[in-house]
Amino acid sequence: MDKKSFLQAGHTPTLLAAFLYFDLSFMVWVILGPLGIGIAKDLGLSHAEKGLMVATPVLAGALLRVVMGVLVDRLSPKKAAIIGQVIVIAALLYAWLAGVHSYAEVLVLGGFLGVAGASFAAALPLASRWYPPEHQGTAMGIAGAGNSGTALAALFAPGLAAALGWSNVFGAVLIPLVLVLAAFCVMAKDAPDAPPPKTLAEYLRVLQDKDAWWFMFFYSVTFGGFVGLASSLVIYFNTQYGLAPQTAGFFTAGCVFAGSLVRPIGGNVADRIGGIKSLSVMYVFAALFLGIVSFDLPEAWMALAAFVCAMLALGMGNGAVFQLVPQRFHKEIGVMTGLVGMAGGVGGFYLASSLGYSRQLTGSYQAGFLVFAALALVALSGLSLVKARWRTTWGAPHVTSARI
């Protein structure tokens, strides 16, 4: 990558603001996972209920990404992001002051935390609209690396819960959220060439394009795998290997940091060799290591190594998908970010909830991991079906300067 060209092409303060907003939003989006051991103990939750508890914010975030995508196009990415963050702060403030006393209340809070997950649909268009096609993978990768916030939750939430009590963690996270919101308001700037708002018919028209559905499926595997594991691994390491909550949090943070930090690399690699080739390789590795970890490895460190490798593949795959999406749907990037992000969240909900049900029904997590590994191979097959058409139509050299 030509660093000078990249810096001149876009707006660096906005890119940084998008990353920070995304990072803190994702931190609170999955926070029920790292706090889940204490919550489950106090509320007496079953394996299936624990799975649904951590999966609820993921599903809510998936559905709300469509709403956020509409707000992005109707208002602007910056205004939509501010509205969403205020809602999240208000929900956490209420949960801290009033307390969470039942499983139903946990699920309601999870629904509001879904607004934080919807941040994806505002942060990525905010960054994307500033950059030309040849820098889309890198720009979207940097902004998208904000999913490292899931690692911050795993790293700090269990320790804070041990020191303060899990309900007081909701109050503690308000401090960085408010600070980042203030910085975002100052640093972020909407791109001057934003497309005009679209009608409802135009939104629905996007779904008539089969490429939209392909991208939604591809991302449901890469991002769904990433966020599903990020939400579940603290509980997994505690249940499967008996690790203390803080140790399980450290293991999870290592996995999530791996997947988060390589997202920009995945975007940059896709810029260099093409998103299709990069994504194909990532699906193979993701399926391989999810298959390996399904066999209940005897030592926790072995599972950690396999999860890190799986997360590296999924994280780079996330960057590759969003190197391709802006090339195909540049004018519809706001609504497509919402739709593709929604599909990613649905994949995460499926994985997180299926792991809990798999453990409860069979006594093992194996079935949940193996089915998702199979989905990665199905995605690889789908990519093989469309790559020739993509490379000779919208991805042809005479149409775009980017490699797909």
Which of 90-99, 203-212, 276-285, 365-374 comes out lowest in average pLDDT? 203-212
- SS3 for 6-41 is HHHHCCHHHHHHHHHHHHHHHHHHCCCCCCHHHHHH
Res 54: pLDDT: 95
**Mean of pLDDT values over 298-324:** 94
Arithmetic mean of pLDDT, 163-185: 95
Band of the pLDDT at 196, cuts 50, 70, 90?
A: confident
Q: Which pLDDT score is estimated for 316?
A: 94
- For residues 351 and 160, the answer to whether their CB atoms sit within 8 Å is no
* Range with lowest mean pLDDT among 24-33, 113-122, 359-368: 113-122
Residue 172 tokens read as 């503690």
Task: Name residue, tokens 């934080």.
Answer: 116
pLDDT digits (tens, 9 = 90+) for 220-273: 999 999 999 999 999 999 999 999 999 999 999 999 999 888 888 888 899 899
- Tell how far CA 25 is from the center of its chain: 10
At 131, which helix (H) or strand (E)? none
Distance CA(348)–CA(232), nearest Å, equals 10
Kindly report, residue by residue over 134-163, the tens digit of the pLDDT. 676 677 778 777 778 888 999 999 999 999
The residue with greater pLDDT, 29 or 132, is 29
Residue 33 φ/ψ, nearest 5 degrees = -65, -55
More confident residue, 265 or 6: 265
Q: What is the DSSP string of 190-252?
A: --TTPPPP--HHHHHHHTTSHHHHHHHHHHHHHHHHHHHHHHHHHHHHHHHH---HHHHHHHH
pLDDT reading at 276 higher than 90: yes
pLDDT band (50, 70, 90) for residue 380: very high
Residue 3: which pLDDT band, with cuts at 50, 70 and 90? low
H/E run at residue 114: helix 103-117
Cα distance between residue 176 and residue 24, in whole Å: 7
User: Do residues 221 and 375 touch, judged by C-beta distance below 8 A?
Assistant: yes
Query: Mean pLDDT in the chain?
Result: 90
The helix/strand/coil state of 188 is coil
Q: Which helix (H) or strand (E) holds 75?
A: none
pLDDT at residue 4, rounded to an integer: 64
Q: State the Cα–Cα distance between residues 181 and 344, nearest whole angstrom.
A: 25
Task: Choose the most confident range, by mean pLDDT, from 1-5, 181-185, 256-260, 332-336.
Answer: 181-185
Higher model confidence: residue 328 or residue 335?
A: 328
Report yes or no: 377 and 283 within 8 Å, Cβ to Cβ: yes
CA proximity to 275, closest of 144, 390, 107? 390
Would you identify the CATH topology of the domain 8-392? Growth Hormone; Chain: A; (1.20.1250)
313 φ, ψ to 5°? -65, -45
The answer to whether the CB of 229 falls within 8 A of the CB of 52 is no
Exposed/middle/buried for 104, CB within 10 Å: 0-12, 13-18, 19+? exposed
Give the mean pLDDT of 270-296: 95
The pLDDT of residue 296 is 86
User: Positive or negative CA dihedral for 236, 239, 242, 244?
Assistant: positive
Residue 69 DSSP code: H
pLDDT at 260: 84
User: What is the pLDDT, as a whole number, of residue 335?
Assistant: 74
If one counts every other C-beta atom within 10 angstroms of the C-beta of residue 307, the result is: 26
Q: Whole-model pTM? A: 0.86
Query: Residue 283 is encoded by which pair of tokens?
Result: 């699906």
Per-residue pLDDT tens for 344-368?
999 999 999 999 999 999 999 999 9
Residue type, 325: V
What pLDDT was estimated at residue 2? 58
What percent of the chain has pLDDT above 90? 65
Least confidently predicted of 42-56, 76-90, 232-246, 315-329: 315-329
Using a 10 angstrom Cβ sphere, with 0-12 exposed, 13-18 middle and 19 or more buried, the burial of residue 285 is: middle
pLDDT at 6 over 70: no
